[in-house]
Amino acid sequence: MRTQVLIIGGGFAGASTAQALEKRGINTTLVDKKDYFEVTYAVLRDVAHPEKNNGKSRKRYADFLDGQFIQSAVVELNAHFAVLASGETIHFDIVVIASGSRYPSLPLAKSVDASSLESRNNELQTYHDALKQAKDVLILGGGVVGVELAGELAYAMPHLKVTLAHNGPHLLNGFKSKASKKALSQLTRIGVEVQFNARYQETEDGLVNTTNGAKINPDITFSATGVIPNNEFLKRHYAHVLNPQGQVIVNEALAVTGQQHMYAIGDIADVGEAKLGYLAVEQGKYLANSIAKQISGSQPKPYKRHPFMALVPTGQETGIVQFPFMVSTWKPLVNIKQKDLFISKTFNGFTQ
C-alpha cells in the first residue's frame, strides 16, 4: 500500500491531523488498533453515570473520518514504510507519529484490550455494574485523572465511600496552589476522603499505608498513576530519538530531530506543553497546515507553544479553571465543559 501521509495513532492528535490534511486534498492513511475514536476526558463520567452522555463520546472512525482508515497496529517503522501487525507494509512520503500513551494500571481511562466500539462499551458498562455493587472505592493518584474520577464517582454514586490517596502534599501537581486547594474543598464537600502523603502497599490483609500503617480493604481500587508512551514500534530503528521518558524528541516545527519527513505530536511527543486533548488538536491543525505548505513549496512557521490552561471537573456541578493569570471556580466558566464534556465540540471540529 502507498499513501502520501501515514498517521500512526487515531487519538486527538492523529484524527485532527488526518481530517485537516484531507480537507486540503492530501491523501492520508490513519492506522489505529481500535476501530473507534474516544473523547477520553468524557470516559470517567461514562463509567460513573453512563446515561448522562449515552455513548456519544465514542464513534467509529468509519463514521466520520474522510481519509483511509486501517485497523491494525504498527509494529515497526522504517524511513519510508511501516510494517503492520498483519505483515502488510504501507509506503509513505511523510509519516506522523501520534501513537499517544496508555494507563496500564487504569484501562478504565484508556482501554488496553477493547479494540472494537462494542467491546469498549461493554468494558465500561462492566466497570459501572461493579461500582453499583461496591461500597467503597480507593483511588490512588491525585493528578487530573484521579481528581476527576473521585469527583465523578462521589457525585453520581453517593452510595460509595470514595477515598482519594495521593503520595504528595497537595492535589494536581503542576497546578497553582489555589487550584489545588479549591479542588480539595470541592471534593471534600461531596464526601470524598482525601489522604495526602499516602503510599499504599498490597498485603494479604488488604492495603497498608506505609506512611502511617493504616489498613484499608476497599471493594475496588483504581490506580491513576503511571502513563506510558506507546513507542514500542520505534525501538528497533529510532530508539535514539526518544528522550528518557520515552517520548519522541521534536524541533520547533514538530519534526522528529534528525529525521526527514517524520513528525510527532500529542502524548508521544516531547512538544514542550501540557498533555491535554485540546492541545493535541491544535498541534494536529498546525502540522496539517505545515505539511500542506511544504508540499506546495512554502516555508511554514514554527509551532507556537501554548501556555498552560486546564478545566478540571470535580463532579457534574463543580470544577476548577486555571488560566495563566488566574484560578476560578465561577460556575459559568466551569459549565463550558460540564455541558457535555466537549464531546460535541470535538466531533464538530473533525467534520467542519
Domain ranges of the chain: 2-33+72-103+227-306, 117-226+308-343
Q: What is the pLDDT of residues 196-211, one digit of tens each?
A: 999 999 988 889 999 9
117-226+308-343 matches 2-33+72-103+227-306 in CATH topology: yes
Is 100 in contact with 35 (CB distance < 8 Å)?
no
**Coil, strand or helix at 342:** coil
Going by DSSP bridges, is the β-strand pair 200-203/206-209 parallel, antiparallel, or unpaired? antiparallel
Task: Write the pLDDT tens digit of every residue in 84-107.
Answer: 999 999 999 999 999 999 999 999
Q: What is the pLDDT of residue 206?
A: 86
Q: What is the pLDDT of residue 311?
A: 97
Dihedral of CA atoms 220, 316, 311, 50 in degrees, nearest 10, equals 60
| Residue % of the chain over a pLDDT of 90 | 96
Q: Using 50, 70 and 90 to split pLDDT, how confident is the model at 337?
A: very high
Is residue 226's pLDDT more than 90?
A: no
| Cβ atoms 200, 140 nearer than 8 A | yes
What is the per-residue pLDDT across 12-58, written as a single tens digit (0 to 9) for each? Answer: 999 999 999 999 999 999 999 999 999 999 999 999 999 999 999 99
pLDDT given at position 230: 98
For residues 291 and 5, the answer to whether their CB atoms sit within 8 Å is yes
9-24: pLDDT as tens digits: 999 999 999 999 999 9
Average pLDDT over residues 216-220: 95
- Of residues 20, 22, 10, the one with CA closest to residue 70: 10
In this predicted structure, what is the pLDDT of residue 351? Answer: 85
The whole-number pLDDT of residue 205 equals 81
Determine the pLDDT at residue 90: 98
**Single-letter amino acid, residue 211:** T
CATH number of 117-226+308-343: 3.50.50.60
pLDDT tens-digit readout, 278-296: 999 999 999 999 999 999 9
Angstrom CA distances, 294 to 72, 161, 253, 300, stand at 29, 56, 11, 7
* pLDDT above 90 (res 79): yes
| Cβ atoms of residues 115 and 122 within 8 Å | no
Residue 306 pLDDT level (bands cut at 50, 70, 90): very high
User: Residue 190: CB partners within 8 Å, gap ≥ 6?
Assistant: 151, 154, 155, 314, 315, 318
pLDDT in tens, 233-277: 999 999 999 999 999 999 999 999 999 999 999 999 999 999 999
Q: What is the C-alpha separation between 243 and 15, in angstroms, rounded?
A: 24
Residue 7's nearest CA partner among 87, 103, 72, 85 is 72
Q: Quick check: 151 and 127 in contact, CB under 8 A?
A: no
Yes or no: say if 223 and 106 are a contact pair by the CB < 8 Å rule: yes
- C-alpha–C-alpha distance, residues 74 and 201, integer Å: 36
H/E segment holding residue 43: helix 43-48
d(CA 265, CA 272): 11
In CATH terms, 2-33+72-103+227-306 corresponds, of 2.40.50.140, 3.50.50.60, 3.40.50.720, 3.30.70.1400, to 3.50.50.60
Q: Give the span between the Cα atoms of 102 and 80, in whole angstroms.
A: 26
**In percent, how much of the chain has pLDDT > 70?**
100
C-beta of residue 173 within 8 angstroms of C-beta of residue 257: no
Whole-model pTM: value is 0.96
CA atoms of 287 and 305, how far apart (whole Å) = 13
